[in-house]
Structure 1
């Protein structure tokens, strides 16, 4: 494992309700565990997300990638290691490695998180105290440029339609990024979902969907086999909320 005093480790044991029918953790659960690790990292330096929320401050994900080489089994213990690889005044890159019990890396993730004024709906400078206590390590977890633009789908091969419900939104008053992942997967052809696992998802968050909106999940097959391009947009408007690409591997 990486030798550094600037990282934060959190262990999880996978539970029954986090499994799919094959007894493997779902992509949405892996994102949830990554978020939980980041939240605990905040808590560990006395800046819990709930304390920040009382100050109308939150962390918002602008772009990110998740790559899973395999998904954990029921009752398997995994460790998520997270650290910050760089900061600017308003944003930071969070790196993640996912280890199995034998310290093998089974997954990697990277996110560009922005410190956000919830009331004013705009970025705000990161507290110096947070930067000092978290410090950083300039090693990266995955060599994918998550700032690179992903174009929106104009003509979809597959389409899903969803309503934004009250419980789709989080404490920052916007649709949680896990919900976007679920909308993307729902529009993937069934023959792929039943025989393949999500190997890589690379996403960009562009605009907020609101409670009560109808959103469309547009999916287009790319030339590379089992690779897709995705767009989440608000129905009846030109508003694009998110774009992504996914790569699927056979079980």
Structure 2
């Protein structure tokens, strides 16, 4: 469905739902889903709804535009287990200057919320190498103002101390359709940098200039 100006959607229609089952290749040694796998699910749900609403990759790339993830804030109540079925709920939740906001909720089969997240995205002009205002949201009725996780995305504090550090080499397999390292890869690298006994329950991310091979 391409949502046109004047089209009225109720609150439920503004939410996109997508179900997944946790596979063997998506879990860690504990049998819990990798955080990277969960974020891939979120990314897939977001991409599908964007396409459904008429501002997905195929629509925008013809105009020289792409979506770039800028910031992420996640809160994890629990990680789903191998074989468990989960449902992703996502919706456009507004705009903040040049940033488009998108929220997520992950539920288990009982309907309990196991993860919530909010994110901000930039509509990027590839040729001009600068962001464009998200007029897409201003002139449509797809925005659901309810937030899964309240965050105005204030600048993160300057890092004064490094507790864990590790270097990674960018490889071709890390690149996505935008020819940059995919956001989920950065998150996996961050997890690889901390001891395995640490199980993350929350995450704040701010993406800086993109990375390329070599």
Is this a same-fold pair by TM over 0.5?
Answer: yes
Q: How does 1:21-36 map to 2 (within 5 A)?
A: 21-36=29-44
Give distance in 1, aligned partners of 2:200 and 2:77: 9
Deviations 1:135-189 (A, max 9, x none): 11111101334x222234354232201112222222223221111112211221x
Could you tell me which residue of structure 1 aligns to residue 182 of structure 2?
A: 176
The TM-score with structure 1 as length reference comes to 0.74
Could you tell me which residue of structure 2 aligns to residue 136 of structure 1?
A: 143
Pick aligned residue for 2:206 from 186, 204, 207 = 204
Question: Alpha-carbon deviation of 1:51?
Answer: 3.4
Residue ranges of structure 2 left out of the alignment (5+ in a row): 1-10
Query: C-alpha root-mean-square deviation of aligned residues, in Å?
Result: 2.0
Question: Alpha-carbon deviation of 1:133?
Answer: 5.3
Pick aligned residue for 1:160 from 129, 146, 166 = 166
Q: How does 1:1-251 map to 2 (within 5 A)?
A: 4-88=12-96, 90-126=98-134, 128=136, 135-145=142-152, 147-188=153-194, 190=195, 193-194=196-197, 196-212=198-214
The TM-score with structure 2 as length reference comes to 0.86
Residue ranges of structure 1 left out of the alignment (5+ in a row): 213-251
Q: Which has the higher contact order (CA 8 A, sep 6+)?
A: 2
Give distance in 1, aligned partners of 2:97 and 2:116: 25
Give distance in 2, aligned partners of 1:64 and 1:45: 22
